[in-house]
Amino acid sequence: MNPFASLRDYERFVYTLQQQFPSILRSTLVLAQRGRLFAELSGEIAFANALRIVVYERLAWDAGPLRIEGYSYEVWRGDDKLCWYDSQPHPGDPALAETAPHHQHVPPDIKHHRIPAPGLRFDAPNLPFLIHEIESFL
């Protein structure tokens, strides 16, 4: 099954993540259609050791298959933000050109220290990549 074939397929994919990834303790993800060709995915995925991913995706399918138009994924351990990923373009940063606009914010200066994020994309689900990243922390 291609989870991006339709909104219903992506919904099925999102709501069965716990079955696919036993490391997930709970999920509060909600996929909500906001218009005829637009939807949003938001919520959290919780793991052991107080690790969690805060998820936001803006989805559209006006030009064919489902596509992520923008996203933000924050990785937390308890009250400490470990890193985050977003698709905000930074055309003035040549270090990010390889995966533009996909990048990760990392310490020590988490707001301004950005690195390429080659595992993220707009035309396929990003959640499996992120879950595997979290599993490496476990």
Summarize pLDDT for 22-34 with one digit per residue, the tens. Answer: 999 999 999 999 9
CB 67 within 8 A of CB 77: no
Instruction: Tell me how far apart the alpha carbons of residues 137 and 130 are, in angstroms, rounded to a whole number.
Output: 11
Identify the band that residue 5 occupies on the pLDDT scale cut at 50, 70 and 90: confident
Query: Which pair of structure tokens corresponds to residue 71?
Result: 């996203």
Instruction: State yes or no: pLDDT of 1 exceeds 70.
Output: no
Q: What is the pTM of this model?
A: 0.93
Domain boundaries, the chain: 7-137
